[in-house]
Amino acid sequence: MKLENRTFIVSGGSSGLGLATVEMLVQSKACVSILDRAPPPSQLSTTPQVKFLETDITVVSQIEKAVEETVNWTKQTGAILRGVVNCAGIAAGAKIIDGQNEPHPLDLWDFVLAVNLTGTFNLTRLALKHMVRNEPEEGPDGERGVIILVSSSAAYEAQPGQVAYSATKGALRSMAMPLARDLGRHAIRVMAIAPNMFISSMTDKLPMKARKSLEDALVYPRRFGVPVEFAETVKWIVECVYVNGETVRLSGASRMPAKM
């Protein structure tokens, strides 16, 4: 599928991997609807190709309103909604039993699931309500759209304190195939991306000891990933029609160590 003159929804598109994805899509002459709690940088806010919709991904009514506003916007631009990139997420951490022998807070568990998993599920299903009605793209495959889920290396080998986070990212990885099989009859693809350690506001705050432990586990390239490499992967997924139902690991052949 081409990116030019198509609309994509990017949740969490105001920062990090989501922002890099938005910038790539804009450079590729696509239209982008950003769903986030905070606005994107000012240079994107004034771009005609970009629409920012303040959205709390844990509130289904806000997601539904944002999707409807996006679809109405596409009627003005003429760029049909063809894809969703689910970048909204949080990485809160807590051990199942902490140093004071207290159990994992239930409210933290519920919040991580609400953002990472239920938020992704709600945005995906509500966008699909419109995408399944799309006219097929020109060409032999007649594609109608693509959904991209954002998993993590924590779906495979999470560290201590990542119980809730890894549960959500493992669930997203597991969702890719059944969603792809559900949507095959509508000519809509589903893929997941599982990044390892990427430069972000979260990794910038890591203690030096934890950062060194992660860097020691790197293979090649011996550095954290950069957001543009995630965005390039999104671009490849959109453009390569034969990738479907899989999870792409962005790891540089590295695996998370058991301990920081």
Exposed, middle or buried by CB within 10 Å (0-12, 13-18, 19+), for 138? Answer: exposed
Relative to beta strand 81-86, strand 50-54 is unpaired
Per 3-state DSSP, what percentage of the chain is helix, strand, and coil (rounded to 5)? Answer: 45, 20, 40
Identify whether 165 is a catalytic site residue.
Answer: yes
Give the pair of three-digit tokens for residue 21.
């994805």
Contacts (Cβ under 8 Å, ≥6 apart) of 59: none
DSSP code for 105: P
Tokens representing 13 are: 């598109």
Whether 44 and 50 have beta carbons less than 8 Å apart is answered as yes
Rounded Cα gap, residues 140 and 137, in angstroms:
9
Distance CA 194, CA 156 (A): 9
* Active-site residue (options: 156, 165, 220, 242): 165
Q: Give SS3 for 26.
A: helix
Helix (H) or strand (E) holding 249: strand 247-250
Catalytic residues: 165
